[in-house]
Structure 1
Amino acid sequence: MCGIVGLYLKNESLESQLGQLFVPMLIAMTERGPDSAGFAIYGDEVADDSVKLTLRHEDENYDWAGLAKRLETAFSTKVDWFQNSKVAVLKLMADADDAIAYLHENAHDVMVMSAGKSIEILKEVGLPENIVEMFKLGQMKGSHIIGHTRMATESAVTMAGSHPFSTGMDLCLVHNGSLSNHNRLRAELKREGIHFDTDNDTEVAAGYMTYRLQQGDSLNQALEHALQDLDGFYTFTIGTKNGFAVVRDPIACKPAVIAETDDYVAMASEYQALTTLPGIENAKVWEPEPATIYVWERGDK
């Protein structure tokens, strides 16, 4: 049992309040996932020729300034960065694959949490209320955000095993449920060049989405393939630079609810996580249908 929450803002004037709006939603999922919590937030987009990297080191006193200087030397570019607990967000003019390859070779103790133009992933072991405070979520701004609280039932309680998972540019995925064919899919995806850091089945689902998008699928097409190729029971919420999507397996035994107003689209594993949102009393509220794909992206109003 885990908890999922997501918030996509249609009204750009609310972007300065994104974190504030999302805090009670994530905390509301504590009973569904007290082991660890995390979120992927989209905002503060970098230029087309640049990349934003979210990096983590176990040592909160890690020398991020030193790493930034090494990257500046390696790529002959300025690196802007800031630290948030054990995580640092670095922005530099470089190809994402080249920057990640440099880190794997020269800073192997640093974990790449996410890479893209907009995404930042932050997650840790502990109660959601502690994670919220650790990363000062309430002060964050952006266009959309996806969060997850985990109750580990099939693997150890670790930061690496917590959600969201990201295996591609600006892509993240959170999952409530279990996949039955993830070991076979992991092996197939590795042969296609998809990198995995854990044995978590959710990371395989994220890797599958990355692979389909790399093949030229739209988000909708990738999810159509996922419904055919991923066996198990699940609710997925997927984030991209332009929006987010929700899909449940054909049986749909894992709970989910969606609420939509002129200002936002929100989803949660339980309705009670949505009750603090403004205008929720007038929202269109429904349970997503089994094997049905719901996508909201920039340009859709």
Structure 2
Amino acid sequence: MCGIVGLFLKKEELRPQLGEMLTDMLITMTDRGPDSAGIAIYGDEAGGLKMTVQSDTPAVAFAGLDAALTEVLGGAVSMKVIDTHAVLTLPEGSEAAARAFLKARGIRIMGTGASMEIFKEVGLPKDVAARFGIRAMGGSHGIGHTRMATESAVTTLGAHPFSTGDDQCLVHNGSLSNHNQMRRVLTEKGFAPQTQNDTEVAACYISSRLAEGANLGEALEGTLEDLDGFFTFVVGTKNGFGVVRDPVACKPAVMAETEDYVAFGSEYRAFAKLPGIDTARVWEPEPATVYFWER
């Protein structure tokens, strides 16, 4: 079933409240998917490449990791450890070498980008959000997901959001019927999914279209032609977020917009604690229609 939330803030003064608002929205969607949860936060740029990583044994995996990477990469690396995740800031041009080093150590990469940080784990949204201190995080926009596993195992890597490109991630409610076929096509293009989750296939598809020069709206339109199944996708990028539903609109979705923000939720109750929701323009996204907001 799964629950999705998204929030795009129009006003700079609201940035400190992003984590608080997103957390409340996601917790409200808990009964749509209690298996795992995750949130992508688009916050301040760090002056280098951000890489969010994860380990089941963080005390061991992250001990001295910044110093070891600094030596290997030949440039200063900073590290912020948050529970089972760590946010690394790497020198420009060092991503490939960093990936190889981390893979050799068995450390998983959750996402990369100038501003995006991704935090996801098995468990209820309230517990996952508390572990990572999401309420205290600020930023311009973010998306979140609480999962009911149907297509793959309940694992950290199977949790959403899926990130397959810098500052780009995707959450999904639904199921794709042609994901194995698309997996082969995308692998040939150099965008090979790393898990068995069909949602990662959709994320790789978006990344491939963006790499080909499409903008976010065009990439989302492409899903309607090339991906078969029933789905609602919410995609985050460095500049904003977008929404698209399949032509039948099988999965529930609702949006709200005020002068301060644009919000997405699988159900209206996700908006209950948002400021000014009583005067917001609220609507159900049309089937096979792309909506996106960018700075």
TM-score by length of structure 2 reads 0.97
User: Tell me, what secondary structure is at the counterpart of 2:31?
Assistant: helix
Q: Which runs of 4+ in 1 moved over 3 A?
A: none
Q: CA deviation at 1:94?
A: 2.6
Q: CA deviation at 1:104?
A: 4.9
Distance 1:177 1:206, change over 3 A: same
Asked whether the equivalents of residues 167 and 195 of structure 1 are also in contact (C-alpha less than 8 Å), the reply is no
Distance 1:84 1:129, change over 3 A: same
**Gaps (5+ residues) in structure 1?**
none
Identity of aligned residues (%): 56
Asked whether the equivalents of residues 75 and 94 of structure 1 are also in contact (C-alpha less than 8 Å), the reply is no
Task: Output the aligned Cα RMSD.
Answer: 1.2
**Which one of 251, 256, 265 corresponds to residue 253 of structure 2?**
256
TM-score by length of structure 1 reads 0.95
**Which one of 230, 233, 237 corresponds to residue 230 of structure 2?**
233
Q: Distance between the aligned counterparts of 1:172 and 1:269, measured in 2?
A: 18
Q: CA deviation at 1:96?
A: 5.6
Q: Distance between the aligned counterparts of 1:76 and 1:288, measured in 2?
A: 49
**Gaps (5+ residues) in structure 2?**
none
Partner AA of 1:66 in structure 2: G
Distance 1:140 1:105, change over 3 A: closer
User: Tell me, what secondary structure is at the counterpart of 2:59?
Assistant: coil
User: Which residue of 2 is the match for residue 24 of structure 1?
Assistant: 24
Partner AA of 2:74 in structure 1: S
Asked whether the equivalents of residues 100 and 112 of structure 1 are also in contact (C-alpha less than 8 Å), the reply is no
Asked whether the equivalents of residues 246 and 287 of structure 2 are also in contact (C-alpha less than 8 Å), the reply is yes
User: Tell me, what secondary structure is at the counterpart of 2:202?
Assistant: helix
Asked whether the equivalents of residues 256 and 270 of structure 1 are also in contact (C-alpha less than 8 Å), the reply is yes
**Which one of 119, 124, 146 corresponds to residue 122 of structure 1?**
119
Q: Distance between the aligned counterparts of 2:58 and 2:95, measured in 1?
A: 26
Asked whether the equivalents of residues 164 and 173 of structure 1 are also in contact (C-alpha less than 8 Å), the reply is yes
**Residue 70 (structure 1) aligned with residue 63 (structure 2):** no
Distance 1:97 1:67, change over 3 A: same
Partner AA of 1:85 in structure 2: D
Q: How does 1:199-214 map to 2 (within 5 A)?
A: 199-214=196-211
**Residue 196 (structure 1) aligned with residue 193 (structure 2):** yes
Q: Distance between the aligned counterparts of 1:259 and 1:89, measured in 2?
A: 31
Q: Distance between the aligned counterparts of 1:96 and 1:295, measured in 2?
A: 32
Asked whether the equivalents of residues 73 and 94 of structure 2 are also in contact (C-alpha less than 8 Å), the reply is no
Q: Distance between the aligned counterparts of 1:282 and 1:130, measured in 2?
A: 31
Q: Distance between the aligned counterparts of 1:63 and 1:98, measured in 2?
A: 19
User: Which residue of 2 is the match for residue 41 of structure 1?
Assistant: 41
Asked whether the equivalents of residues 96 and 116 of structure 1 are also in contact (C-alpha less than 8 Å), the reply is no
Q: CA deviation at 1:62?
A: 2.5
Q: Distance between the aligned counterparts of 1:96 and 1:114, measured in 2?
A: 15
Matched length: 295
User: Tell me, what secondary structure is at the counterpart of 1:186?
Assistant: helix
Q: 75-84 or 91-100, which moves further after superposition? A: 91-100
Q: CA deviation at 1:100?
A: 4.3
Q: CA deviation at 1:105?
A: 5.0
Distance 1:25 1:105, change over 3 A: closer
Q: Distance between the aligned counterparts of 1:220 and 1:63, measured in 2?
A: 39
Distance 1:104 1:220, change over 3 A: same
Asked whether the equivalents of residues 9 and 144 of structure 1 are also in contact (C-alpha less than 8 Å), the reply is yes
**Residue 140 (structure 1) aligned with residue 137 (structure 2):** yes
